[in-house]
Structure 1
Amino acid sequence: MATPTTSTPPVRNMDVELTKYKSAAEIVHNVMQTLVAGAVEGKKVYDLVVEGDQAIEAAAATVYNKKTKTGAVPKGIAFPTCISVNNAVAHFAPLQSDPASSLVLAKGDVVKIHLGAHIDGFAATSAETLIVGATEDDPATGRAADAVKAAWTAAEAAMRYLKVGEKNYSVTDVVDKVTSIWECKPVENMLSCQYSQNVIDGKKKIILNPAEQQRRDVATVTFAENEIYGIDILVVSAADGKSRSEDSRCTVYQRSSEVNYQLKMKTSRAVFSEAQKKSGAFPFNIRVLEDEKKARMGLQEAVQHGLVREYPILYTGTGTYVAAFHFTIALLAGGPSLITHPPVWYKPEKVKTEKEVEDEEIKTLLTKPLRESKKAKKAKKKAEEEEEEE
């Protein structure tokens, strides 16, 4: 009788992984700078979305071109460019054939730009929010400003809770506490996930503003050393944080890694195969597929059986504003370390709000550096040693 064998997972080289994550993050940052500069009054959202995806692919083509033993290094889009405006929560990336492709930015619009790149399956994803026309000399005010200020302050607080040994629901709670300062609310049931090679929807999750059932579904987990997370902070200028789907057609899809199903239709198999070749494990915009009509038909069967999942376009109530900041972060021994860059557009002076942080605990939290300096660590250790001697 043969002895069963067990496969040993490959040993991780964190230095190599982090280099690839940061290379992807550099691409994301450069593309984000271009898109932020282009998000002006009169600009079509469709044009920005296409420009973003093309820029990611072009930048990725210039790096990691040396072939390895296993062939060319895969690289490219880890999350297709999405630009969601005002009360659209996320995942708005229209096709040219969609009526929504005519959407044009207007002064005062709250614009969320979300995109991602990967090198060898190590993905850096980022999102930020800007308000069209707002400047330091002419800042945004009102509920739009409240939502943006609440979202970024909550993101900064969340970063400081993302450390080894902390629990995921600590992040949930602090985001809720911070956003309430501006009478805003995290968008209900939005998930942030652990990242690994070719995975941006890992098992460990953080949920914002969970409904009762979702709180039961998302287990309490403890953060561990060398874990990577993509953190989505989505905040609405409303009291309940609820969202709903409308008539906008979904354009972003992703292969569900945990589902296996033999597609019956020839068209479905062809479309699924094309999507796999072009995007692998990562989300893709249907625009990248050769025939849009055929693609929609083929994806229908794949979605129906859970082989592919949709990224639906959700909306909060009419007249509300959603702000979002997404960052990719590594949980290292010395503390959390941002992989992606700080926001391009956001400065406190660009959003004028009547309320500010007064809670001393949150104030103290926000002044803490993400990582303690070596000097601070030595001082802390010395103080502890002196305390023990006494």
Structure 2
Amino acid sequence: MSTLSPFVAAFRQAAYPIGGHGRRNMQVLKEVLNELDDKLESDNYGTGEGIESFQAEMAAFLGKDKAIFFPSGTMAQQIALRIWCDEKGIRKVAYHPLSHLEIHEEDGLKELHQIESILLGEKDRLIRLDEILEMQADIACLLIELPQREIGGQLPPYEELVAISAHCRAKGIKLHLDGARLYEVLPFYQKTAAELCALFDSVYISFYKGIGGVAGAILAGDEAFIAKSKVWKRRHGGDLISLYPYFLSASYYFKQRAHKMGQYYGEAIELAALFNSCHLVTTLPHVPVTNMFHVHIALPKEKLEPILTALYAETGVGLIHYLRESSEGVCSFEVSIGDAYAKIPKDVLKHAFERLDAVLSEAK
């Protein structure tokens, strides 16, 4: 039986966690099921009125012909890239060095599909337009992640996306959107999801990240692409006998939260300013472009953990439950704003950051 560290225990006991939508526990699903008729028919191996209606709703939202629900985004994206590689007869795709496919999927794309990845750009910045224009490799598909999570949720200018899309179409390269957090970029771009997705041949979105559902993803594109996706979904074991815990929670929380992304974005800008007002603290980006950003604190983990543990106990505000430490002794973590932030009284939040600044100024 594992024992929580004092740091994690203090975070869990804090009355006001700043990120996300609250604790991810059974209540996430119970809240959805309590709203439903007990006699509602389940889906059956990916078919049924409920799931098909939701898929049609998501296709319309994304401005695509068709959409299909997957139990995971990992499955959906590998399948998307496999389809484009088969269509082009080329076993190469390009994406950022810190793409989810490259660093979090145990080389699934390579081992399961024998697809080679071409890494564009540098790890600490976005892919640049000139790097795409000058790319020498013959690729089937280019994957763009919006926002680029591992570098603080950064985004390229919309005009650059338009230029990338035009280049790919002229060269016959398929353009796929890793839009796990697509909803979160819309306030920055001031575009609808359909307007943004029109630049891409295929699109993936997640329902457990910014939306806060149980799990699940949508893959969208034209009719021929989705027809092939259904075959590959079956091959991957994605046609579970019932997917209703996933797509019903996706639908419920999508309606609850998709329209709040502008609010979350504004709150992220406010919170980043509070972090940046403290000694030893910087955010990436300095001014967020979505509702998520990264926080860097110039202290080693063994010094910072007890400081934050005491802060949580004193103020009731929980900043984060984990710390990543670089070789330079700088700790970092990710903040993603959801419903929880608005529940923190402003005076409590202000006091917490005043105390954080004070203790960090003494820790230099």
Question: Quick one: higher RCO (CA 8 Å, sep 6+), 1 or 2?
Answer: 2
Same fold (TM over 0.5): no
> If the TM-score is normalised by the length of the shorter chain, which range does it land in?
under 0.3
By percentage of residues, which structure has more helix? 2
